[in-house]
Amino acid sequence: MQDAKVTAKKKKIPLLRRMLSAYGRSLEITKAGWLFILLTLAVGFAAINSGANLLHVLFGCQIGLIIASGMLSENMVRRAEVRRKVASPLHAEGRGALIVELRNASPRGDMISVSVEDDDRFDSPDHTEPVFSVAVRGGATATLHTSVTMTHRGLHPLPKAVVATRFPFGLFVKRLDLQVRERVLVYPRIHPVDVQELRQAYSGEGEALGSRARAGEFFGLAEYRDGQELRRIHWPATARLGKAVVQEFEARGEGELVLSLLPGRGGDPSFEAAVEEVASQAVALLDEGRVATGLRYGDELVIEPGTGPAHERRVLEFLALVGLDPDPNSNADSADDAKPGAEERAA
């Protein structure tokens, strides 16, 4: 298991390509481009030595095509606006749905032969599948569907990406960097779990399959614990006793089960394996829907037992970040932006 914090490392790229990169743009010469440039140089050399007017005209046309290619490709990437949006929960080492909205910011003229793809100048384990649009009308938006794979759990930016085009002649690849990279929350990896074996393993523990739940017949009062729902507080008894107490109920069905996770540090292989195991157990139990499932981290009950998709999301969000160092460069509201649905935009 690698460290949970992932950073993109810059690849070694050819000197010529580095020289042709500036202002967030990069230019790469294709094989066809190199052949055309060599042919242009050959025609120019022949024109100088022979003095033939026809060769001079041909050489001028070839130079004009190279210049036109650069101007047209720049026009395509400059008018592109990209917005990337995660459309499904992301789990480590799993593929998640990604929606790419490609907008033609210019009201006049089509945007032709444009793709959105990972920046190949950076070596990162996270990646997205490229998407391609043949044409986008002026002022219109094309919605493209692809997938993204994130390697580790936690709060991470989407992979570095560019808008690229080979328009019009395929001689060069013009790329424009996407400057803004919104963060997304990546849940732990999930593997199959036998629910029956899991419930049998916990059945001998006093707190695992208890007789108290959040609904049913009244069971009694208990002291309030951090993480419990405020609506369960019994206010008359709280006022009488001078401390917060909550109502307990007889369990319906099979009661509740509290999973346990020992404290650890993100990136440690044993801790990451434990997080993955607890996440897999929680998802298996909550998908079955027969047992209210909670989570204890060390000695603290961090998530009250519950059921349903919203409760599963709360459990996974906690497990996605537990034990990881906060990123000092992230914004205060990064956690909200990072939930499934976070977007990336670049003009």
Q: Is residue 92 part of a domain?
A: no
End-to-end CA distance of the chain: 37
Q: Tell me what pLDDT residue 288 has.
A: 83
Q: Is residue 315 part of a domain?
A: yes
Q: How far apart are the C-alpha atoms of 221 and 236, rounded to whole Å?
A: 11
Tell me, rounded to whole angstroms, the distance of Cα 332 from its chain centroid.
18
Cβ-proximal residues to 49 (8 Å cutoff; 6+ apart), any chain: none
The phi and psi torsions of 158 (rounded to 5 degrees) equal -60, 155
Q: Is residue 173 part of a domain?
A: no
Q: Is residue 298 part of a domain?
A: yes
The answer to whether the bond into 326 is cis (omega within 30° of 0) is no
Q: Is residue 81 part of a domain?
A: no
Number of domains in the chain: 1
* Cβ–Cβ under 8 Å, residues 150 and 185: no
* Cβ neighbours of 110 (radius 10 Å): 15
Q: Tell me what pLDDT residue 213 has.
A: 45
Q: Assign 44 to helix, strand or coil.
A: helix
For helices 309-321 and 269-288, give the axis angle rounded to 10 degrees.
180
Q: Tell me what pLDDT residue 182 has.
A: 78
* Cβ neighbours of 217 (radius 10 Å): 9
Return the structure tokens found at 84.
């990337």
Q: How far apart are the C-alpha atoms of 182 and 158, rounded to whole Å?
A: 6
Q: What predicted TM-score, i.e. pTM, was given to this entire model? A: 0.73
Q: Tell me what pLDDT residue 240 has.
A: 81
Q: Is residue 56 part of a domain?
A: no
| CA–CA distances in Å: residue 81 to residues 111, 135, 169, 210, 257 | 11, 14, 23, 55, 48
Q: How far apart are the C-alpha atoms of 57 and 61, rounded to whole Å?
A: 6
Q: pLDDT of the chain along its 347 residues, tens only?
A: 444 444 567 777 777 777 788 888 899 999 999 999 999 999 999 999 888 899 999 999 999 999 999 999 999 999 999 999 999 999 999 999 999 999 999 998 999 999 999 998 888 899 999 999 999 999 999 999 999 999 999 999 999 999 999 999 999 999 999 887 878 999 999 999 888 887 777 665 434 444 444 544 455 677 777 666 677 787 888 888 888 887 765 444 457 889 999 999 999 999 999 999 999 999 999 888 778 899 999 999 999 998 888 999 999 999 999 999 875 444 434 444 455 544 444 44
* Cβ–Cβ under 8 Å, residues 301 and 294: yes
Would strands 183-187 and 154-157 be described as parallel, antiparallel, or unpaired?
Answer: antiparallel
Return the structure tokens found at 224.
């309030």
Dihedral-angle region of residue 289 (phi above 0 means left; psi in -120 to 50 means alpha; beta otherwise): left
Q: Tell me what pLDDT residue 83 has.
A: 92
Q: Is residue 19 part of a domain?
A: no
Q: Is residue 236 part of a domain?
A: yes
Q: Tell me what pLDDT residue 231 has.
A: 73
Q: Tell me what pLDDT residue 333 has.
A: 41
Q: Tell me what pLDDT residue 244 has.
A: 84
Domain, as residue range, for 253: 195-321
